[in-house]
Amino acid sequence: MKHLFFIFGILVLLFSCNSCDPLGLKDKCKRDYLFSIPVSLESGLDTFHIGDTIFVNMSFPIEMEDVFTGDKFDLGDFPFNTEILLVKIDQSPVSVSPGMVSYHATRGNLNILPLIGGTEAVQVQFENESGMFNFSCFIILERKGTFGIYYQSYFLDEFNSELEKGCKTNSVDVHYSLDLKNAETDTNFELFQQSPDPKVTQVTKQTFDDIGAYAFVVIE
């Protein structure tokens, strides 16, 4: 009987210990996540004129599929932190200064923030409606040159909430999958390779595709 009380006491101690993890339960489940947001871009040309517009649209379900596993998760409260980046790539260093284009949101909203150094952040705010995230905008071209447009989710490395109950989030990444609608060209990756800025030419085709990038030329 003494042995039974001794064993029972050990078990109580093990399961009541908050500062230790003798059975390794805390690390039993830890996983990475990858989600893909579809981006459709209309007026897909390789050459535009000043005053032309590019129409960008993002529409995807709130319940998204993890690319790694095929598991589905409700991302209704997930901070995608999506930004649109437009960069003038025919100079070194590249320019991300305001005044190259203007934006007009038609679904959802845009939050344009001035940053130190004369740059700006163009943040997407998705509309959440009927189980879907939606965003669309016109980009009006206002300066000559060679440009690249792409998308990113910033500060996702700070996300530490559980996407799967009882499973620690190791990392979350978001890729942007570009679909050119009514296009007369492809994504023009070769324009990145022709940039005088070595940071641009070092971008691989895989990274170019993962960020939904598209390059084009604007003339008068």
pLDDT of res. 22? 45
Asked if residues 186 and 41 have their Cβ atoms less than 8 Å apart, the reply is no
Domain boundaries, the chain: 29-219
What is the percent of the chain where pLDDT is above 70? 85
pLDDT of res. 26? 54
Of the candidates 40, 72, 43, the one whose C-alpha atom is nearest the C-alpha of residue 56 is 40
pLDDT of res. 184? 66
Q: What is the pTM of this model?
A: 0.83
What tens digit of pLDDT does each residue of 87-103 get? 999 999 999 888 899 99
CA–CA distance, 90 with 211 (Å, rounded to integer): 19
pLDDT of res. 157? 79
Residues of the chain with pLDDT under 70: 1-28, 44, 182-184
Asked if residues 220 and 145 have their Cβ atoms less than 8 Å apart, the reply is no
CB atoms within 10 A of CB 191: 20
